[in-house]
Structure 1
């Protein structure tokens, strides 16, 4: 139990360690040695959006290991962790390979806004910090997800309704859109489309939860067995797990 909770806190701490640099850039900070010599269009908004996504990744790890995470269905938290984990590992792999190929001379550096020396410095920073963060964050998200799923299997299994699946799918699609929008510098995606899908998904889950509880309550009565089953059902719908 303690190790599970420690993993959640580790995920949160690792996520938050990546926030300061994005706040610095969002406030107009530059990094001349890396070629960041001016504010590109959408740069500030993208960095503020990145801060939100990063904090969300850390809270996702923690929610999978803490009781308060049960306020959201387990499928949402589990799916979010996997979306973030796969994205993090893919980001790490692709940009690490590119950095290694460029530093080794197998791929030429481009000419443009930054010099070759600045691009090389950025590649070294990617290998030692930026992309390393993505790789470790991806691993932590997936580890938290899989440990949570293992615990979830030990509780009573209750099938998810159709509308529950729809709500979960919309929520995860919204989260994926927000993340994609941040890293493609598309403010409409991470401020408009993504949050709209996310909100619709959460609303669907809330309405579906209330509908299912409302349908069950009259049938349960207050008998010991009925009430006990109702409590277990409610706990499962909230993503309950044992610690």
Structure 2
């Protein structure tokens, strides 16, 4: 089994793990909830949609492994890996920073979907569970890409462009979250 196949399988399992977490809430589970949602039906729907998206995220890295063997497919996979890596890592960094600032009392996060909420528990759950998942997911997509790129210039270019995009989008996300610029939402 190649390193790329192993990474694809780990990505699939990692996505399935988070999918099951969302599916639990979509099916009415309540353990670990940090508040009372404004609409229970909306809570179920949001988690069902999230579980569906995460199921795609679990299947995609495994289903697309054969594409790496073809030049056109390889290019498509480099782009897919770049988008997934940048999006997930940026999401993890922006949200983790926001939750850290919230815990420190330096940022008030609007939580409009909740009628009652334990803000500290919400911040901790996001900081210790949700965002580490996104960070690991993004890093795994980057690792998958690196295994498909030839060593040298192509690999460096991919990593530098992804790192730059993460840095720029994280700064924009934090400027937006702190109200310095208008609302700017990516993903």
Tell me whether the two structures share a fold, i.e. TM-score over 0.5: yes
TM-score range, shorter chain: 0.5 to 0.7
- By how many angstroms is 1:70 displaced? 5.7
Determine the structure 2 residue equivalent to 1:87: 87
User: CA 1:6 to 1:121, structure 2 compared with 1: closer, same or farther past 3 Å?
Assistant: same
Q: Distance in 2 between matches of 1:5 and 1:105?
A: 44
State the secondary structure of the residue aligned to 2:115.
coil
What corresponds to 2:174 in structure 1?
none
Look up the match of 1:8.
Answer: 8
Corresponding residue for residue 173 of structure 1? none
Question: How many residue pairs end up in the alignment?
Answer: 149
Give the whole-Å Cα distance in 2 for the aligned partners of 1:144 and 1:2: 11
Q: How far is 1:50 from its partner?
A: 1.9
Between structure 1 and structure 2, the one with the greater Rg is 1
| Greater relative contact order structure (CA < 8 Å, 6+ sep) | 2
Matches within 5 A, 1:124-203: 124-150=124-150
Which stretch has the larger CA shift, 105-114 or 84-93? 105-114
Could you give the per-residue CA deviations for residues 21-45 of structure 1, whole angstroms, max 9, x where no partner exists?
Answer: 2112222333574114454564433
Preserved contact between residue 57 and residue 141 of structure 1 (Cα < 8 Å): no
User: Considering only aligned residues, what root-mean-square deviation do their CA atoms show, in Å?
Assistant: 3.1
Question: Please, which runs of 5 or more residues in structure 1 have no aligned partner?
Answer: 152-243
TM-score normalised by structure 2 residue count:
0.65
Partner residue in 2 for 1:67: 66
Tell me how far apart the structure 1 counterparts of residues 31 and 140 of structure 2 sit (CA, whole Å). Answer: 29
